[in-house]
Structure formats: structure tokens, C-alpha cells
Amino acid sequence: MAEVIDEVVIPAAGLGSRMSEITKNKSSKLMLSIGDVPIISYAIDEALASGYSKIYVITNKLHEDLSYFLKKFYPMVNIIKIETTGGSAETILKAEKFISGEFFSVILPDIIIKSDIPPLSQMKNVWKNKKNILGVLHLTEEEKSFFGSCEFKKNQVKNFEDAFEIKEIKSKKDNDGDLYHARSILSNSFFNLTKELIKEKSEPDDSIVYKRMLLNEKFLGLEIKGKGFDCGNPEGYKMALKLFSN
């Protein structure tokens, strides 16, 4: 029987310092509305539309508004509350004991992607190769100024027009590339490697863990078909508001 990937982690515990001018630090940034629904809804709806039955949302205990919303409108979602947040990889690590499959997915909820086919569905079509996959957005020059980026050395993969094999991963802080990582399908080796890196360096970000994984595992990249918005950034949020209001 073919393995089915149906577990997804949504790290939603960030304090949202970039969005404090809008939230006034009174609510989670993911509870800001776009098109009459909170930002967090886009991530959960994407997971459901992509066929995921086990959805884990990691929240900060300071953001009770987010937890209340999830319990009321998405009772099928599993909420993991944490006291403090570290780097992105350390936050995802909090879901380790709940993940039972060889592979799991990650949605970065700040990044809303408007597309005909849900981004994770696009990635699952390629995942049949059973490799780690990073779903990336190709940024314009304007978008690069507030998205940040993660640059790859890549080889094109036959039979998948927008997929490529990743040969090298650079830290988000070390480059000025035009590809932004927004979604992932990862082997569960991510967890042990994150724990190793925490012992070596505090608060490792996800790109550092991927670099360590790449030493022994293959990674594919997939350019996601769709328009992305970094809604954890005031400019990206305003751009999304404009598009989704039309």
C-alpha cells in the first residue's frame, strides 16, 4: 500500500513583532482579517483542501484569541500550546511527539498563497518520489524587499516542469536570491537534527536544519503556482488586503 502523508504542522506561535503597529500587541497577527476571514483560516483551509486529516497548530499561550477561534470554528484541529518561542525549527519541534509518519508537512501561516490548486496539493503530486520538498515562491524585485529569501543551487527534474533538485541551501540571512520557502514536506529526521543543532546553537532557523538534512537526504524544490503574500509584514498584509477585497 502506498504511504499517505496526512500530518501537517502549522507553527503559529510567533509574537508578531513586525505587525505590532497593526495589532498593537493586543491579538495574534494571525487573527487579522483578509477577505473577511482571519489569516490563520487560509492555512487550515489549505490543509483540509489538500487532504490532511491530522492538523497540528502550535500556538503561544499569550494568544488566547487564536486558540478560542480554532476551538470554535476548527474543532478538528489539534492545538499545541507553548510558553515561549525560539527559532522556527524549535517551534516545529514541539509537534514531534504527535507525528507518527515517516514524512510530515509544514505550512508557514504568515504566507497566504492565492492559487487554483492548493500549494500542498501541488507538492503532494511531486512527493510521490518520497523526497523532502520545499515549496517556494518566485519573488519579484518589489517583493524581495519585504519577503526575505532562501537561495538554492538546483538541477531541473525531468517530468515535473516546476520542480528541481536542490544541491545547496543557503541561510536566509546569507543571500539575496529570488526564491522564498513557504511550504515543506519533510522526513521526520528533521526533529532529531533540530535537537542536535539546538545543542550547538540557540534558536536554529529551518534553513539551517535543511542544510544539515541535505548532507544525507535528497531535497526537491517546487515553484508553487500562485500569488503569495507575506502577511506577517505590514506591506505584504496591505497588498493581500487589496487583492482579496476585489
C-alpha cell at 68: 478560542
Q: Give me the pLDDT at residue 160, please.
A: 59
More confident residue, 205 or 177: 205
Convert the pLDDT of each residue in 45-67 to its tens digit: 999 999 999 999 999 888 899 99
Q: Give me the pLDDT at residue 16, please.
A: 67
Q: Give me the pLDDT at residue 93, please.
A: 95
Which residues, in sequence order, are CB contacts of 68 under 8 Å at separation 6+? none
More confident residue, 63 or 6: 6
Q: Name the residue type at position 65.
A: D
CA atoms within 13 A on the CB side of 43: 29
User: By C-alpha distance, which of 196, 235, 232, 233 is closest to 212?
Assistant: 196
Q: What is the mean pLDDT of the chain?
A: 85
pLDDT > 70? residue 81 = yes
Q: Give me the pLDDT at residue 1, please.
A: 40
Q: Give me the pLDDT at residue 22, please.
A: 76
pLDDT > 90? residue 13 = no
C-alpha 144: how far from chain center: 17
> Do the beta carbons of residue 167 and residue 153 sit within 8 Å?
yes
Using the Cα atoms of residue 240, residue 242, residue 243 and residue 246 in order, give the sign of their dihedral.
positive
Q: How far is the C-alpha of 52 from the C-alpha of 44, rounded, in Å?
A: 9
Q: Name the residue type at position 143.
A: E
More confident residue, 126 or 95: 95
Which percentage of the chain shows pLDDT scores above 90? 48
By three-state DSSP, how is residue 236 classified?
helix
More confident residue, 181 or 43: 43
> Do the beta carbons of residue 204 and residue 192 sit within 8 Å?
no
Quickly state the pLDDT bin for 148 (edges 50, 70, 90): low
**170-177 mean pLDDT:** 56
Q: Give me the pLDDT at residue 40, please.
A: 96
**141-163 mean pLDDT:** 63
pLDDT > 50? residue 19 = yes
More confident residue, 170 or 205: 205
Q: Which residues pair with 181 in a beta bridge?
A: 136
Q: Give me the pLDDT at residue 192, please.
A: 95
Which residues, in sequence order, are CB contacts of 127 under 8 Å at separation 6+? 5, 103, 133, 185
> Do the beta carbons of residue 30 and residue 42 sit within 8 Å?
no
